[in-house]
């Protein structure tokens, strides 16, 4: 009787183990599928990248920003002598985006020195490159200091596009610093509310200050794979606004995503992105 009970107990555990293994395989399959879809999107965008030679997306966005009110830049909406009339209508743009993509939920730990206990944050770093449709490209850098349910955030994105032979490249720099608060979540997934002070600078010269608010979602699939997504709304002086959305997957230290930055004064800057994330 005891042997039969033990055998049934072992079979129940074997069945549970098998179900967990299948679940793990399904998660890996999901991760591979998402990576394939992201790669396919990148190939499709690369094919359409050179489709229009009438003007890059970044040039149109920068032209729209400079033509709106509230400029604080040195030079404002006045031509800077670099052929600014051609800056908004030629070249291809390259987006530099990297989503503030950090792996898994933010944690913190403590360290003791000389009998004193100090709070030691988790440091997440990210660097990525994005290819922008009908433009050239961009690169992004992000840093995050996690203290349990609160995180200090910083990010910088630089976009560049050729303006044509002999002309200064068109640029758009976006910087933001802020704080994130964990709304809810568990060990494998969290939802964060984020707030920023931000600013943009363009070449030809224009500068604007603003604020931003956003949400970020993280979901760990297993020890190596995790999903992430974020949406932010930027509001700058001169009635310039932008919406940013990004979604992707992280496999170990590699991250693949698709990002859209859509200003209300020009076409959306969108395209696939790949980068490297590190945690200390």
| Per-residue pLDDT tens over the stretch 238-247 | 999 999 999 9
Please, what's the b/e burial string for 200-224 (b: 16 or more CB within 10 A of its CB; e: otherwise)?
A: bbbbbbbbbebebebebbbbbbeee
pTM over 0.95: no
Give the model confidence (pLDDT) of 42-101 as tens digits. Answer: 444 444 443 333 369 999 999 999 998 766 554 433 333 333 333 433 333 333 333 233
Both tokens assigned to 128: 């990525």
In the chain, the largest separation of any two C-alpha atoms, in whole Å, equals 94
Rounded CA-CA distance 79/81 in Å is 6
DSSP-derived letter for residue 149 is T
Q: Can you state the percent helix, strand and coil of the chain, rounding each to 5?
A: 25, 50, 25
Start-end of H helices in 49-96: 57-67, 84-87
Query: Do strands 93-96 and 137-147 pair parallel, antiparallel, or not at all (unpaired)?
Result: parallel
136 burial via Cβ count (<10 Å: 0-12, 13-18, 19+) = buried
Give the model confidence (pLDDT) of 146-190 as tens digits. Answer: 998 999 999 999 999 999 898 999 999 999 999 999 999 888 899
Beta strands in 90-239 (DSSP E): 93-96, 108-113, 116-130, 137-147, 150-161, 170-185, 189-203, 206-220, 225-236
Taking the C-alpha atoms of 214, 188, 128 and 125 in order, what is their torsion angle to the nearest 10 degrees?
Answer: 90
Rounded CA-CA distance 44/205 in Å is 33
End-to-end, the C-alpha distance of the chain in Å comes to 54
Domains and CATH numbers, the chain: 32-279 (2.40.128)
Assign 103 to helix, strand or coil.
Answer: coil
Q: Of 34-48, 130-144, 186-200, 259-273, where does mean pLDDT reach its minimum? A: 34-48
């Amino acid at each position: 009787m005891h042997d039969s009970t033990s055998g049934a107990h072992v079979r129940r555990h074997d069945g549970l183990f098998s179900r967990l293994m299948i679940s793990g395989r399904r998660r890996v399959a999901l991760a591979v599928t998402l990576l394939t879809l992201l790669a396919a999107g990148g190939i499709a965008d690369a094919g359409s990248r050179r489709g229009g030679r009438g003007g890059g997306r970044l040039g149109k966005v920068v032209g729209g920003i400079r033509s709106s009110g509230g400029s604080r830049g040195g030079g404002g909406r006045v031509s800077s002598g670099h052929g600014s009339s051609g800056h908004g209508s030629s070249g291809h743009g390259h987006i530099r985006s990297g989503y503030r993509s950090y792996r898994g939920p933010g944690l913190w730990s403590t360290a003791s020195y000389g009998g004193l206990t100090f709070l030691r944050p988790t440091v997440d770093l990210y660097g990525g490159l994005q290819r922008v449709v009908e433009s050239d490209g961009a690169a992004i850098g992000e840093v995050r200091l996690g203290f349990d349910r609160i995180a200090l955030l910083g990010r910088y994105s630089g976009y560049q596009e050729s303006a044509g032979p002999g002309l200064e490249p068109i640029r758009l720099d976006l910087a933001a610093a802020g704080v994130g608060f964990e709304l809810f979540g568990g060990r494998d997934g969290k939802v964060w509310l984020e707030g920023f002070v931000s600013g943009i600078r363009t070449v030809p010269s224009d500068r604007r200050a603003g604020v931003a608010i956003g949400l970020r979602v993280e979901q760990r699939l297993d020890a190596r794979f995790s999903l992430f997504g974020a949406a932010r709304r930027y509001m700058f002086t001169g009635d310039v606004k932008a919406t940013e959305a990004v979604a992707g997957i992280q496999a170990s230290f590699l991250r693949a995503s698709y990002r859209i930055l859509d200003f209300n004064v020009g076409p959306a800057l969108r395209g696939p992105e790949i980068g490297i994330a590190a945690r200390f």
